[in-house]
Each structure stands twice: as structure tokens, then as C-alpha cells.
Amino acid sequence: MPSTTFPIRLDTPAVHVPIEPGGKLILRGYFHSTHDGSIVDAATTTWPSGAPGGASVDAAGLIDWQAGGFHLVSRDPQTHEVQLLATDGPAPACDLNHVQAPCLPLRAHHQALSRLMTVSEWTSSLKGGIQGEVVAPPVYAPVTTIASTMKPVLIVSGVGLLVLAMLLFVGWQFRRWSRSAPVELRRLAKRVRDKALRADPILSGPLAPALDSMIKAIESSKVDPVSEEGQRIVKVLRRVDATLDEKAAENKACDERKMADELVSEVEIALEAAGEAARLGPQR
């Protein structure tokens, strides 16, 4: 599509611009106000030295380009050239003026109101002109349309990746939790209890209930695995575990009852110490 030019009219609140998304619109020129001496181009207002506040430049001009569906690329208050890029985004000012988007809505009403003038009085004070030039979209402009078409797919893919990341994080947290001291202590106690149940009845009879009590204390968080008492329980359980392995290998029945009593005593003493420590609270 070749470049086209058109003038900006002050008697039309908004005018449609026949341009595709990705196309460039260049606005050149300015209006000079005989009312207050300001110079107004498409995107800036230059105030003279005699204006309240002195000479200055405001980043707002005659055109409300954003509300018309355009993106500002550049503006120069010296050359009064403004470059805009057409988008396929919302254009509320076009809808308000019942004009097809994208469009160039004038800010004449706002400018007149700020000067306590009517729109007709304000626009009558403007001398000069602004010319618009529509530049054909570059070769890669269709990428904008493709991106818009692929937006739902990209959103779904993004959600899928987010869910996958959350699942991986939860799995990592679970593995970390499963290797934590409380879990390891519960596993050790249950493993020893299971071995005790398979041992000779003389040994397992009194030992299994004591181990069950220890497991309940661990599961109710009455035992802190990282405390001194908790470490003592770990050592006792490992000793009981090793002893059960030895007895299973030797398969001897001599002095089973005496050995069981000793092991039960050690478990009960360790458990009692842990309970006492829990009642007294952490020592500082």
C-alpha cells in the first residue's frame, strides 16, 4: 500500500485513519494560537515566555493518540514531527465518537476548557496546520497479526508451564520434607518396630509396645529429633536395630528375656527424658 497524506481538520472531533496494525503514521506541522501564543502540534504544547510559569513544553498536544489506538514512537517539539504506530488494541475515543478504529481524536475540548473558552473560540484562534502521512507497514508487520492469533495458544502454553513448574516445586519440597529429621526418625522407629515384631516372642513381647509408644510420641511431635534427647533416641533405636539384626543372625534364645528387659529399659528411659525435656521447654 503506497503512502497517503491528509490534513488534520479542526471541525471533526475524530477521524478514522485507514491503516493496518504495524503501520506508521507521521504527523507534521503545528498550530499557533492567537489567544495565548502557544504552539500546539500533534503531541506537544510549547508555551511562550510570557505564559504563566514561563517558557515550557507540555507532553500533550492536539491529538489523543493513545485513546485512538496508536502507540507513540517519537515526538520532537522543535521540528513538530510525531511518529505513531498503529496497534490492534483498544481505542475508546473512537468508540465514543462512533468512528472506526484506529482514529485521531482531537483534544480541542480539553484544551478549550483549560483556557475557559468554547471549542469554537479555541479552534478559531489556531492558525497553521498539521499534515498526516500513512506509511505502509514493513514486510514483517503480519507478525503482529500472527502474534494476536497465537495469543490463546501462548496463554495456554504459559499456564501449562506454570503448572509444571509448580508440580516440580511441590515434588522438590516433598523430597526435601521426606528427608527431614522428623520423617527419618519416624522411619527408623517403624523399621525397628517391624523387626521387633518378627523377632523371637520373648524379645518382641515387651519391646514392641515400648516402640509403639515411642512412635506415638514422635508422631505427636513430643520428640524433637534435633534436640539432645532426640539424638539419644536415635542412638538407642540404632542400637536396638543392630541388636535385633545380630539376634536374627545368631538365632539364639539364651538370655532373651534379660536382653529384652535391658532394651525396654533403655527405650523407656530415653522416652522419659524426651518427655521431661518437652515439659520443661527449650533450654537457652
User: What is the residue range of 164's domain?
Assistant: 140-179
Same domain, 113 and 13: yes
Same domain, 163 and 256: no
Same domain, 134 and 222: no
Same domain, 159 and 212: no
Same domain, 237 and 197: yes
Same domain, 27 and 101: yes
Same domain, 246 and 149: no
Secondary structure, 3-state, the chain: CCCEEEECCCCCCEEECCCCCCCEEEEEEEEEECCCCCEECCCCEEECCCCCCCCEEECCCCECCHHHCEEEEEEECCCCEEEEEECCCCCHHHHHCCCCCCEEEECHHHHHHHCCCCHHHHHHCEEEEEEEEEECCCCCCHHHHHHHHHHHHHHHHHHHHHHHHHHHHHHHHHHHHHCCHHHHHHHHHHHHHHHHHHCCHHHHHHHHHHHHHHHHHHHCCCCCCCCHHHHHHHHHHHHHHHHHHHHHHHCCCCCHHHHHHHHHHHHHHHHHHHHHHHHHCCCC
Identify the pLDDT of residue 131. Answer: 96
Same domain, 133 and 17: yes
Same domain, 109 and 133: yes
Same domain, 108 and 221: no
If one counts the domains in the chain, the total is: 3
Q: What is the residue-level pLDDT of the chain in tens, covering all 284 positions? A: 456 899 999 999 999 999 999 999 999 999 999 999 999 999 999 999 988 888 999 988 999 999 999 999 999 999 999 999 999 999 999 999 999 999 999 999 999 999 999 999 999 999 999 999 998 665 554 455 555 666 666 666 777 788 787 888 767 666 665 567 777 888 888 888 887 888 777 777 788 888 888 888 877 777 777 678 778 888 888 888 888 888 777 765 556 677 778 888 888 888 888 887 777 766 55
Same domain, 168 and 124: no
Same domain, 12 and 44: yes
